[in-house]
Copies of this chain bind each other. A is one copy, B any other.
């Protein structure tokens, strides 16, 4: 009977964008409100604090992305194809929503402390995939965590390079080469 909710989504999206541009600490409520064409106070109808807003965006979207990753993995049988599927998801996510991707990937450090142990991250998923691959003797790593570090590092650093402007191509052209490089590494491990 009252006014319909109109500003919530705008605020969330605006916050995301300003957070990525200036960092959470560097962003003021006014920054967000201005960007969202809303009043400062409106934010507090939906979130208890700026910090809660920041965390909410982070964890909700991380959760969504994790679901997609898992779904993609389940479709594949062979470890190499699972790897490819993950890289595909990462790069597609990046190209579809660079801002959200940047927020999730670049602020991992800020939220690391707040992640309860039982929160699953993409890194955990890669470790799992590698462990499965070893179990199925498709790869031969003695140390799956180390291997995951190598693979994850190689995969996501490409995206950082594009964020920082070192790379300009559509990331899809790198998918095969990255997976091949990782696969070569995993075979020798």
Q: A177: which B residues are within 8 A, CB to CB? A: 146, 189
Q: A110: which B residues are within 8 A, CB to CB? A: 23
- In the bound assembly, the distance between CA atoms of A167 and B185 in angstroms comes to 19
Number of chain A residues close to chain B: CB under 8 A: 37
Interface-side segment among A11-19, A68-76, A128-136, A156-164: A156-164
Instruction: Say what secondary structure dominates the interface of chain A.
Output: helix
- Given A23-B110, A181-B189, A185-B185, the answer on whether A157 and B166 have CB atoms closer than 8 Å is no
Copies in the complex: 4
Which residue of chain B is the closest to A21 with respect to CB atoms?
A: B113
Q: A39: which B residues are within 8 A, CB to CB? A: 2
Contact of A48 with B by CB under 8 A: no
Question: A residues bordering B, Cβ < 8 Å?
Answer: 2, 23, 25-26, 39, 106, 109-110, 112, 123, 145-146, 149-158, 160-161, 164, 166-167, 174, 177-178, 180-182, 184-185, 188-189
